[in-house]
Amino acid sequence: MKELSKTILDIERDIRDTLENDYKSQSTENKRINFKDVMYVGEVTWNDKINGKPLSSKLFAVRKEIETQNKYDVEKKREMYEYYLDDKYIGAGIDIRMPQLEERFKISEPEKADQIERLLENVQDKDLIQNSLEHLERQELENIAEALGIESKDIKDISEIDLKQKLLNLDERDLKEEGEKEDNLQDEEEVKLDEDETKHLNVREETDLNQYIKGETLGKKLGLEKIGITDGVKLARVSTSSLDSKDRNIKI
């Protein structure tokens, strides 16, 4: 995944986490607000009012669904969009390309407001889709499947996991270990790390393989048994450069 896409994905997840909590607190017995997706629209640039230097912020459009129920128990659903410049709310709208920006914002930041309206008017649908949270998380899961040597369909249900656990960093998946190899046999040897050794590990990312996803553990969903891992506890990305031992295949 490209660096920009990773940055956008992280921001979109932060927006989702914040808004899901906000929407939950705003919901009532007869009105529910549901987060649906967030899309990166593009970069908004302008010149600083004091020194004239160019500045920029990222524009995001959040799609949400509002469910209402009247006194006759008739339900009605409608979608609308909210707009955020980085993490600052600036307006809403029913049509993604026709924002109703806050009047205060339009008066105080006319250059930004013009840029935002032009961006939304000209952005391509395919770019909105490709830069959406839903698409980027699906792409991340496909990368994980490829790294594990399994089909992406085998882990499609893992979208229910909180991906902010940092399951894998695929762009840095090659483990770099220092020291010379003792011999070819030791290369293939699988060892357990004792408690003292694990203290020296720099564990960058890990997730519990025993957590349940739709009735099955994450380890089973990932198909780890297919590649010979039957008693793993956690899936982790580690750096073993601080260990005195030579190259080893490590299981935690």
Give burial (CB, 10 Å; 0-12/13-18/19+) of 212.
Answer: exposed
- pLDDT-wise least confident of 58-72, 161-175, 204-218: 161-175
pLDDT, residue 211, reads 64
What's the pTM? 0.62
Residue 14 or 2, more confident? 14
Residue % of the chain over a pLDDT of 90: 44
Task: Tell me the helix, strand and coil percentages in the chain, rounded to 5.
Answer: 40, 30, 30
Residue for token digits 């580690």? 238
For residue 148, give both structure tokens: 């594990």
